[in-house]
Structure 1
Amino acid sequence: MGLTVTDGELDLSMSQLEEIPTKEIIAVKNKVRKLDLSNNQLQVLPMEFAPNLTLLVELDLSKNQLSMIPDNFGLLVNLQLLDLYSNNIERLPLSFKDLKKLRWLDLKDNPLTPQLAKIAGSCVDKDECRKCARDIVLIMQEIYKNLGDVKGVAKSTKSEEPPSSVASKDKKKKKKAVKSADSNKNKKESPQPSKTPLKELEPEDKAEENLPAFQKHGASISKRHGLCYTFLRGFLWSIVLVAIFISSLILSKHPQVQPYAHTLNQKIELAKIELGNYYEVYGERLWVHLGGLKETWASSMTKLNGFVDGTLMVFLIDFKERMLDGLASMRVQVNEYLTKKD
């Protein structure tokens, strides 16, 4: 379908959209500065949305069913107004740190995490929405900076210190890095919200030892859950094995099962005897073959040593003598040539 852009504004509100018509919007992306997608049934923003609409200045996504914002949303670097009112959003991606031109943000009526809700505020008027935009961008930049500092400390300690001293000294440096990051936050003049970052802002490749203090709690909880799951799985398997063992004992004593058990024991004994016979026959053959290989190897090494000590040495000595004779004759010829020339 063809989309109509009026004075740089594309209005798709109240269109009962379940998916964003990305291809159609991208076709007119150079004309669009304001995009209204409010009052629809959108649940997901596609990954190709932000990279192709970097010229957007205003974006209205209010009154939809969005549960998350894609990680590349920060590519909307020219965005100044963002309305996410009345959705199902709990967390925001770390890429919000790149929305440096954002001046207005509405996050009301969303099931935000307590930390994010404290940062966003109530946003009941324009001033609070401006404050929400400023605080969200600042806290995302601060979290990104702290994560980078912790990564740098971890890399430097691993590269400079020997392995024996890393375990003791690495913890001290991490604590100092976290304290310095906390003190930098307290010195900010603008009101800074809670320092606890969102779970999805944590990098996947960060080990628990490199996490800052405000992230260790979540990591320890997930670790405990994993240990509980492993313990429960091992406990259930042990119960199953014990039940199988007990049932086999009970069945072996049953009168109807005893003949079969006796036959099975006889077959097991016969199999042991046959395995023993195979081992005696083929084991002896194997040792004979190994002995032959050992003798062949010894004779080959003896021949090689004889060749090196005899033929090769004679050849090298003869080659050396010929080289010396050739050099001596060449020297005589050079002297004769020089004498005649004089």
Structure 2
Amino acid sequence: MEELSLKDLKAVLDDNELDLSMRQLSIVPAKALAKLPRATHLDFSNNQIVAIPPEFCLLTHITKLDLSNNHIVHLPNDFGKLLNLEHLDLYKNSIEELPLSFGDLRSLKWLDMKGNPLEADLAKAAGECQDEKECKVAAVRVVRFMRDKAAEQHRVIQKQEELNKQREQVIANATAAVGMTQKEKAPKKRKSKHKDASNIQPHSEVPAHANGPKMQNETKETPNRTFKTKPSSQSCLSRVFVRVRKLFMVILVLSLLGVALSSFIIFDNCTEKSHHWIPSSQPFCDDLHKAISSRSLPPTFATNLYKTLSSMSWVYAAKLRELKADLEEGGYLERAQYYCNLIYTKTVITAFILQGYGSQLVQLVISPPSVCTSKQKHKITENASREMAMC
């Protein structure tokens, strides 16, 4: 049936009530209704309506809405903008879940959602609505339930944003550290060149006939030392770049695996045989079936996919909290923390000991004093091994 015009609506308008029931309607005339602000009570019961257009959410003057006995699959995402809505009848439709904005309907006082394939938690909040009192209680419970659900999803999104910021900060710090090492290496190279020049200058004043062979060896060794400092700094920088590149590759591979796994779970969730266990996935499943049948993506495909991913992360976050609570009850987290602290402490102590005695051994090997003997070297190594054993 074609969409009703403004003239048709005015013909059936009775005071503030607009009765459009049992007319085989499949389209809600939202644009024409916007021009009738006097119509605050709308009755669309017993029709063939499948979806509510987004423009319908702009009709904030509505206080009573009857959509019972239709084929509505889901409500618009901005349904919560109907702030003056007090009475809502959704009896006998095909609704599985409600939009998160439903929690903004603070004026809602009466709600009937019987005869809908609601998800378990939502069905528990909606109740049976057998009489007037139960329908009023259902309105309060469902609005509170959707408000808490929206707040939980908002917290999950905020945590994800914080993790992304921390990851970006780590990458920025690593890049800054690489830049600092480059700046520190440059002055060291210049200092080494000045030292070599100062070492060569006194030898030039010595006569050529005195210590001729020895002087030739020293002048040959000096350029070799300056040449060896360059590869060491370059190798250090190359190691840093290799580690950063490996970190990027690991993050990229994990991200691709996460996207592939999430896609598989979402598409499996939208098959006809499986149950839609992911909250807020019904709109995306509808868009997916439309895309497969018409071979073109609907305009709401990306938005509904993002909402489905957010809902799936909300489900996983709840499961992780349950796992954490189980681990805390068993005391496994405390044990793991104790052993981690113990291993970390032993590692740090060992590193300090090795660094101290290692530097002494290097000094003895490179420039051993005339009074140092092999016994003193042996004593240093004995002390190092003794402290390692005590650690």
- Provide the TM-score with structure 2 as the length reference: 0.43
**Which structure shows the bigger proportion of residues in helix conformation?**
2
Task: Specify the structure having the higher radius of gyration (Cα).
Answer: 1
